[in-house]
């Protein structure tokens, strides 16, 4: 799979299969990080990244990205926080929650930095199959042998094949890192269930037409939800180029109220929408940005339309 899709070649002892990509990332945190290490995490970020870093007694260092730039990481932002304690960068492209996708040129600059400064790149590529508008997914490890030796690629079958409950993720990287992960995992879970492994083999090696069809359907939903959100007063929604989330800015509504509700931030907004509109969203503060909320379009178009209708009505009540 890695050779076919990403142009990457690994030996058997350079790959480990775990109970989901989250498990792969947790294994990595425990074998790579320790007290005194700093781990760079572009923000907004997936909620688990900083917690796993802290579980390893290391320090997460957040690298801000800007909404007006599509939340894309800039190499110069990394340079400002790099120091002798920097152990790794966690890279997520396409990104959860923003849908940002890094282009080849930016990845080449980040790769050069990693090689020059000697830090690891943990490249979470779980959403690689879900990119839109002609955007190309590039695995940073494919940009040369030097950066490959600094990179651990993490992926899973959960997103591309809708196999979240099967809990199969995998990591590929330097032999000594994978060996340490295997030693740790053997004392924690032994292995992912064999039934799920067999299903994952079929998913990865079987016909891939359904993955493309799914991406096309997600693209239709993406376009619809972005257009609807941007049509709402005081709501601003950047156009995501990957994954299956939107990360709209609701901050212009903060300070508004309805009944006993006063919306002071993304947590209040999420609670208000859940109680008043029966719409579930995730507060942006969990991802490092209180100005935003996250919505997923990994549901039917019928549910998306219904949910947005309810959300629009609930927002219209705020004064």
Q: What is the pLDDT of residues 53-104, one digit of tens each?
A: 999 999 999 999 999 999 999 999 999 999 999 999 999 999 999 999 999 9
Sheet containing strand 293-296, edge to edge, reads 245-246, 293-296, 282-283
DSSP per residue over the chain, as a string?
A: -HHHHH-----GGGEEEESSHHHHHHHHHHHH--TT-EEEEEES--THHHHHHHHTT-EEEEEE--GGGTT---HHHHHHH--TTEEEEEEESS-TTT-----HHHHHHHHHHHHHHT-EEEEE-TTTT-B-TTPPP--GGGG-HHHHTTEEEEEESTTTTT-GGG--EEEE--HHHHHHHHHHHHHHTSSS-HHHHHHHHHHHHS--HHHHHHHHHHHHHHHHHHHHHHTSTT-B-----BTTEE--B-GGGTT-EETTEE--SHHHHHHHHHHHH----EEGGGGT-TTBEEEE--S-HHHHHHHHHHHHHHHHT--
- Walk along the chain (319 residues) in steps of 10 and give the mean pLDDT of each run: 97 98 98 98 98 98 97 97 98 98 98 98 98 97 98 98 96 98 96 96 96 97 98 98 98 97 98 98 98 98 98 98
Report the sign of the C-alpha dihedral through residues 235, 241, 244, 247, in that order. negative
Output the pLDDT for position 103: 96
Output the pLDDT for position 45: 98
- How far apart (Å, rounded) are the C-alpha atoms in residues 69 and 66? 5
Put simply, whether the predicted model's pTM sits higher than 0.85 gets the answer: yes
Output the pLDDT for position 272: 98
Output the pLDDT for position 295: 98
Output the pLDDT for position 111: 98
Burial 112-132 (b: 16+ CB within 10 A, else e): ebbbeeebbbbbbbbbbbbbb
């Amino acid at each position: 799979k890695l050779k076919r899709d990403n142009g990457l070649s690994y030996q058997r002892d350079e790959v480990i299969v775990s109970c989901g990509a989250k498990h792969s990332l947790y294994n990595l945190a425990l074998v790579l990080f320790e007290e005194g290490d700093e781990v760079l995490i572009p923000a907004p970020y997936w909620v688990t990244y900083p917690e796993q870093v802290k579980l390893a007694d290391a320090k997460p260092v957040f690298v801000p990205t800007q909404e007006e730039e599509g939340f894309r990481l800039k190499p110069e932002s990394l340079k400002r926080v790099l120091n002798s304690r920097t152990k790794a960068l966690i890279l997520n492209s396409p990104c959860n929650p923003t849908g940002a996708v890094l282009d080849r040129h930016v990845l080449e600059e980040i790769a050069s930095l990693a090689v020059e400064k000697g830090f690891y790149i943990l490249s979470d590529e779980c959403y690689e199959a879900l990119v839109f508008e002609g955007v190309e997914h590039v695995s940073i490890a494919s940009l040369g042998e030097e950066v490959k030796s600094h990179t651990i690629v993490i992926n899973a079958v959960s997103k591309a094949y809708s196999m979240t409950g099967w809990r199969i993720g995998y990591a590929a990287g330097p032999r000594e890192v994978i060996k340490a992960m295997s030693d740790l995992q053997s004392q924690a879970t032994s292995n992912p269930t064999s039934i799920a492994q067999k299903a994952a083999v079929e998913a990865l090696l079987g016909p891939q037409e359904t993955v493309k069809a799914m991406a096309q359907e997600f693209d239709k939903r993406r376009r619809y939800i972005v257009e609807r959100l941007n049509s709402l007063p005081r709501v601003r929604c950047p156009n995501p180029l990957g994954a299956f989330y939107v990360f709209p800015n609701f901050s212009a509504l903060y300070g508004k109220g309805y009944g006993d509700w006063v919306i002071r931030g993304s947590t209040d907004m999420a609670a208000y929408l859940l109680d008043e509109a029966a719409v579930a969203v995730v507060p942006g503060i969990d991802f490092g940005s209180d100005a935003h909320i996250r919505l997923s379009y990994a549901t039917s178009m019928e549910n998306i339309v219904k949910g947005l209708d309810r959300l629009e009505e609930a927002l219209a009540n705020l004064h």
